[in-house]
Amino acid sequence: MKNKSCPICNNDMMYFERYPKMICHECVKLALTEDGDNIKFYNKDHSGGFISIVNDVKGEIHECYINNHKCYADEARFGGIVVQLSK
C-alpha cells in the first residue's frame, strides 16, 4: 500500500486513489460545524448509510471544518466514513 501525508497535519497515512483528499483519523476527531460545535460521523447501521451527530442530535450534515479547512464527510464505497478536503 502507498502512503501519503494528511493534507491538514502532514501525518503519514494510507493513500487511497479513490479519496485523494482524505484526512487522517486524528484530524477527523477535531471536526467542527460551521457554528463551532463538535460533529461526529458514523454509518447508520451495519449495512452502511451516513449520519452525523451534533450535540447528541442525529442528522445528515456532511460539511465540517478542521483547523479552518472546509471538509466534506460521506459514506465510503465499501463502508465506513471518509472525510476529505472540500477544495
Which tens digits make up the pLDDT trace of 16-65? 999 999 999 999 999 999 999 999 999 999 888 999 999 999 999 999 99
Average pLDDT over residues 62-69: 98
The domain segmentation of the chain, as residue ranges, is: 3-85
Q: Rounded distance, CA 8 to CA 15, Å?
A: 14
Q: Which residues of 41-78 are buried (b: 16+ CB within 10 A; e: fewer)?
A: beeeeeeeebbbebeeeeeebbebbbeeeebebebbee
User: 86 pLDDT band (50/70/90 cuts)?
Assistant: very high
